[in-house]
């Protein structure tokens, strides 16, 4: 890895110099104002051949792209492909539900239908990844995940009437 | 037309400053030079009033305070060797020149010393701004330019305390110099010890949420320090500078800077105007040739000194020349020095008018030279190269 030289520019900011394998130099100046300047110096030249000025925010974005940590949203096509097979469903637990007042483990949901409960919403509290010992209570909303067949099987097995139109779109 | 109302005249000055400043930024000229010119023109319409003078005094105090506040003690400590050596070379090349010129102009020793300071100190405000505007902050010579500037500013701040002290004492002799140096050192030491030992305490005192009270407290610290310095016979400016240094190490540094900046910008602008107004047209004619003479000589010594520093630190010829050519503009400190001590009125070349001409020349031409240095450097390097070829070729 190449060495980065650091240098104070009193009154202006800080200068970082990176010697590239090609022999060119890349110099970044961080101004006290937060502005960044990126200079490119060609081999053995002491005048920059290009200057780019970035705001603080732009610099952070570019920085995360360069370091490979920038979050790239999945392309829409891929997203559809993924969603074709997997569905999430919001289900309201009524008083007379077959699921009410039972521990998750008692219900054997996964074994019987293939569906998993990802979250229980109970009033103001949200329980993500509930434990097998968690009791489903009336008026809870549960979020389940599975493919379409599994979801349908879940609905018929537990005689669910109240599905919630979710904002999945 | 004479406008007697002092508040009205202040308003007119400010409006004139705004319009002139707007034009100046269009053509990339330094505000310092333009503000002085505005003052020179305005003196035809109304005199310097007590209000203007008072604000101008505050201008020096706030300028020095901000300078101390933004002074990076960290980078001074980190780069002390480089700063010290580049600074010393620059001092050796440029300070004695002013002493010599002062002697030629018939000044006494104190006045010559003052002139030496005026001619020696490059304007860090103008140069740093030009470096950023010209996109040169990554150039190899830039860190050396800034090192020279930081040394000069430190030197002049101390020098200011000394020269005002010695002028109050009346004459330069061994006893006077000893007393003044002792006073200056004790004053500096007091603030340095305070900064080192009581940082926590100071942090606690100035941690005030109430905006108005915060501003009043900071102002009182600044003005009290300036007043204390003045009371012991040193310059007010140095007291404000040390107050700035003291507060620069606190957590509230940024907030202080935000709070004081508007005061500083306003009063500094008025300070430059007041300086322009005090330049006497009667003297200007005679000052211009002398000013040009000093400008040419001191530009040569700055460029040569800069080139020499470049050579010492193995910069290319190109970068070395650019280093020297970037040190020509003079500005704020020269003007502060010019007004720092009262001169005896019989002097053939009044130092204020001379400094006015010199600062205008060097601030305006110096900025242009910085911008247009490329063709000169090209010409200089090609000439050198042909010389080298000629000597190498015996036929």
Query: Residue B71: closest CA among chain A residues belongs to which residue?
Result: A11
Q: How many CB pairs under 8 A join A and B?
A: 62
Q: Measured between alpha carbons, how far apart are the two ends of chain A, in Å?
A: 46
Q: Which CATH number fits domain B6-385: 3.20.20.370, 3.50.50.60, 1.20.1530.20, 3.10.20.70?
A: 1.20.1530.20
Contacts of B149 in chain A (CB under 8 A): 10-11
Spans of all domains in chain B = 6-385
pLDDT of residue A143: 87
A135 phi/psi in degrees, rounded to 5: -95, 130
- Percent of chain A exceeding pLDDT 70 equals 86
Query: Residue A7: closest CA among chain B residues belongs to which residue?
Result: B143
DSSP symbols for B73-121: HHHHHHTHHHHHHHHHHHHHHHHHHHHHHHHHTT--HHHHHHHHHHHH-
- Percent of chain B exceeding pLDDT 90 equals 43
pLDDT of residue B390: 58
> Can you read off the two tokens belonging to residue B80?
């002390």
* pLDDT digits 0-9 by tens, B110-124: 889 999 999 999 998
Least confident segment among B2-6, B292-296, B314-318: B2-6
CA distances from B121 to B91, B93, B150, B373 (A): 9, 12, 11, 20
Interface with B, mutate which of A6, A11, A31 (most B CBs under 10 A): A11
pLDDT of residue B1: 46
pLDDT of residue B344: 61
Select the residue of B72, B132, B138 nearest A15 (Cβ to Cβ): B138
DSSP symbols for B164-190: HHHHHH-S--HHHHHHHHHHHHHHHHH
DSSP at B348: S
- Mean pLDDT calculated for residue range B185-200: 85
Residue with the larger pLDDT of the pair B387 and B31: B31
Task: With CA atoms as reference, report the closest residue to B335 among B118, B108, B65.
Answer: B118
Interface with A, mutate which of B135, B137, B322 (most A CBs under 10 A): B137
**Helix intervals (H) in chain A:** 56-66, 76-85, 104-107, 109-113, 148-157
> Can you read off the two tokens belonging to residue B305?
């000194």
CA distances from B307 to A13, B10, B304, B379 (A): 24, 44, 5, 15
- Mean pLDDT calculated for residue range B154-175: 84
What number of CA atoms fall less than 13 Å from residue B353's CA on the CB side? 17
d(C-alpha B305, C-alpha B372), whole Å: 19
pLDDT of residue B348: 67
**Contact between B319 and A31 using a beta-carbon 8 Å cutoff:** no
d(C-alpha B123, C-alpha B127), whole Å: 6
pLDDT of residue B61: 93
pLDDT at B392 over 80: no
Q: Does A124 touch chain B (CB under 8 A)?
A: no
d(C-alpha A66, C-alpha A64), whole Å: 5
- Mean pLDDT calculated for residue range B144-156: 91
Query: Residue A26: closest CA among chain B residues belongs to which residue?
Result: B138
Contacts of A41 in chain B (CB under 8 A): 138
pLDDT of residue B233: 83
- Mean pLDDT calculated for residue range B373-388: 76
pLDDT at B252 over 50: yes
Interface with B, mutate which of A4, A5, A10, A13 (most B CBs under 10 A): A10
* pLDDT digits 0-9 by tens, A51-66: 999 998 899 888 888 8
pLDDT of residue B395: 46
Instruction: Give the model's confidence band at A168: pLDDT under 50 very low, under 70 low, under 90 confident, else very high.
Output: very low
DSSP symbols for B308-334: HHHHHTT--HHHHHHHHHTT----HHH
* pLDDT digits 0-9 by tens, B39-69: 999 988 888 888 888 999 999 999 999 988 8
Q: Measured between alpha carbons, how far apart are the two ends of chain B, in Å?
A: 74
pLDDT of residue A167: 44
d(C-alpha A94, C-alpha A160), whole Å: 9
Least confident segment among A140-144, B43-47, B201-205, B338-342: B338-342
Contacts of B258 in chain A (CB under 8 A): none
- Mean pLDDT calculated for residue range B310-329: 91
Burial class of residue B395 in the structure, from the number of CB atoms within 10 Å of its CB (0-12 exposed, 13-18 middle, 19+ buried): exposed
* pLDDT digits 0-9 by tens, B67-92: 888 876 777 777 788 889 999 999 99
Q: Does A41 touch chain B (CB under 8 A)?
A: yes
Query: Residues of B numbered 62-81 whose beta carbons fall under 8 angstroms of chain A's beta carbons: which are they?
Result: 70, 72, 74-76, 78-79
Contacts of B74 in chain A (CB under 8 A): 8
């Amino acid at each position: 890895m190449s060495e980065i030289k650091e240098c104070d520019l009193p009154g202006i900011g800080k200068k970082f110099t990176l010697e590239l394998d090609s022999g060119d130099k890349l110099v970044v100046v961080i101004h006290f104002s937060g502005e960044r300047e990126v200079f490119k110096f060609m081999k053995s030249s002491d005048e920059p051949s290009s200057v780019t000025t970035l705001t603080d925010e732009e610099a952070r974005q570019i920085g995360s792209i360069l370091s490979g940590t920038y979050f790239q949203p999945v392309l829409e096509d891929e997203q559809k492909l993924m969603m074709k097979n997997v569905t999430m469903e919001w289900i309201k637990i009524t008083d007379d539900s077959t699921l009410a007042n039972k521990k998750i483990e008692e219900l054997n949901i996964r074994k019987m239908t293939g569906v998993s409960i990802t979250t229980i919403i109970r009033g103001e509290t949200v329980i993500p990844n509930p434990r097998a010992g968690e009791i489903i209570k009336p008026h809870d909303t549960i979020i389940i995940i599975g493919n379409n067949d599994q979801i349908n099987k879940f609905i018929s097995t537990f005689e669910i009437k109240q599905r919630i139109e979710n904002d999945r779109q | 037309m004479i406008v007697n109302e002092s508040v009205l005249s202040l308003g007119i000055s400010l409006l004139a400053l705004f319009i002139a400043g707007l034009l100046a930024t269009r053509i990339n000229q330094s505000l310092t030079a333009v503000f002085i010119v505005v003052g020179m023109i305005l003196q035809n319409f109304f005199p310097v009033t007590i209000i203007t003078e008072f604000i101008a005094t505050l201008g020096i105090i706030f300028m020095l305070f901000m300078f101390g506040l933004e002074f990076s003690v960290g980078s001074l400590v980190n780069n002390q060797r480089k700063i010290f050596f580049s600074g010393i070379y620059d001092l050796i090349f440029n300070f004695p020149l002013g002493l010599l010129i002062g002697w030629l102009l018939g000044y006494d020793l104190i006045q010559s010393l003052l002139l030496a300071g005026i001619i020696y100190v490059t304007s860090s405000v103008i140069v740093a701004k030009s470096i950023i505007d010209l996109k040169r902050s990554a150039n190899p010579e830039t860190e050396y330019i800034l090192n020279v500037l930081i040394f000069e500013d430190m030197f002049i701040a101390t020098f200011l305390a000394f020269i005002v002290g010695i002028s109050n004492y009346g004459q330069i002799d061994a006893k006077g110099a000893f007393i003044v140096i002792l006073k200056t050192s004790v004053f500096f030491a007091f603030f340095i010890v305070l900064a080192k030992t009581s940082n926590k305490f100071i942090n606690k005192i100035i941690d005030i949420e109430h905006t108005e009270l915060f501003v009043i407290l900071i102002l009182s610290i600044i003005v009290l320090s300036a007043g204390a310095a003045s009371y012991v016979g040193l310059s007010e400016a140095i007291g404000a500078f040390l107050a700035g240094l003291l507060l620069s190490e606190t957590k509230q540094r940024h907030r202080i800077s935000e709070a004081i900046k508007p005061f500083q910008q306003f009063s500094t602008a008025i300070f430059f105007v007041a300086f322009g107004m005090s330049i006497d047209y009667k003297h200007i004619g005679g000052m211009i040739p002398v000013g040009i003479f000093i400008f040419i000589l001191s530009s040569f010594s700055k460029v040569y000194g800069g080139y020499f520093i470049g050579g010492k630190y193995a910069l290319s010829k190109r970068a070395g020349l650019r280093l020297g050519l970037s040190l020509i503009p003079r500005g704020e400190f020269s003007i502060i020095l010019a007004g720092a001590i009262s001169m005896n009125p019989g002097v053939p070349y009044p130092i204020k008018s001379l400094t006015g001409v010199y600062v205008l020349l060097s601030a305006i031409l110096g900025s242009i030279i910085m911008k247009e240095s490329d063709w000169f450097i090209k010409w200089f390097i090609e000439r050198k190269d042909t010389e080298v070829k000629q000597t190498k070729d015996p036929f």
